[in-house]
Amino acid sequence: MNTVVTFLNILTSILLPMVLLTSLGFAGRKIWKIDTATLIVLNLYFFVPAVLFVKIIEAQVDGSFVLLVLGFVLGIEAVMLAISWVVSRLWKMEKPIRMAFGNSLLFFNSGNYGLPMANMAFHQHPTAIAVQVFIMLFQNITGNTLGVFRANRGQGTGRKALKAMFSLPALYVVVAAIGVKALSVPIPEPLWAALQYLSGGFVALALIVLGVQLAEIQGRAHLPMALVASFLRLVLSPILGILAVYALGLDGVLAQSLVLGISTPPAVNTAQIARRYGNEPEFAAQTVMVGTLLSGFTITLTLLVVRVLFPS
């Protein structure tokens, strides 16, 4: 009975609010043609930097924590990359779709999906939210470098990818927040209040942006391949995360947040990268859509499992 109550609580207090906010964005794009570019700029240049800064300042973490999260994410990415190579070879995929398939496993929606979810699931645990902050940062770095390189291998896009990565404020904000925290630099109260207001609005805006982006996705690629990619991303990745957490001897909220952080659906950015570089955009878009729809069930189940396995 307790398990059923916990499941229903996760469903009603975390998943349904996310679905409602995402649906608002989806409807807004379809009905009122909300401008996607403006929302993305607001999200990437105002709300994301604010939530990154606030959560890092509030979190009680050190260098070993950052290295733990980095090693965890890179380890999962390496295993998923190897799995994508094996599956694509067995399926005898052509090179373009092999790259798109691999990107859908490597890069997950840690920003517009993972961070809002972490805020809802662990709002009383700044350290757990900091896990998702650093996962999002590492994913942004690898997605905008390795992801772009894989989508357009051999066309000299590495420099453009680095330029795009360094043009976003996230990296600089993280460095600034770590510096302020390490040196105990006082933050003026009006500035801190403004940052907290922006941070507080992040969850709603991020999920609305996700809905707007999903409304723009088109294409009907091979459904079996999209289902397999979604299954590996949503089911196999959390299993690998649980095994890794056990191997590292972690427990409690830290273990929960690490596993949940790598259990989100394929990143919308993978479809955008595929479309920009002409690398199987229909397949990439359908995988994002299928994965996001299925994640409603898998994320709820994953959160239930980790709370049972790693009680706080």
Domain assignment of residue 205, given as a range: 2-309
Write down the pLDDT at residue 164. 62
Tens digits of per-residue pLDDT, 170-179?
778 888 988 9
Residue that has been written with the tokens 């207001």 in this structure: 197
On whether the CB atoms of residues 127 and 56 are closer than 8 A, the answer is no
For residue 185, with 0-12 CB atoms within 10 Å meaning exposed, 13-18 middle and 19 or more buried, which class applies? exposed
Q: Looking at the predicted structure, is the pLDDT value of residue 14 above 80? A: no
Write down the pLDDT at residue 240. 96
DSSP-based three-state secondary structure for 236? helix
What are the residues facing 108 on neighbouring strands?
266
* Cα 44 from chain centre: 14
Q: What angle do CA 250, 238, 87 make, to 5 degrees?
A: 135
Give the CATH number of the domain where residue 244 resides.
1.20.1530.20
For residue 133, with 0-12 CB atoms within 10 Å meaning exposed, 13-18 middle and 19 or more buried, which class applies? buried
Tens digits of per-residue pLDDT, 58-74?
877 778 888 999 999 99
Q: What angle do CA 228, 139, 71 make, to 5 degrees?
A: 95
Tens digits of per-residue pLDDT, 75-129?
999 999 999 999 999 998 888 888 889 888 998 888 778 888 888 788 778 888 8
**How many structural domains does the chain have?**
1
- What's the mean per-residue pLDDT of the chain? 84
Whole-angstrom distance, CA of residue 242 vs CA of residue 237: 9
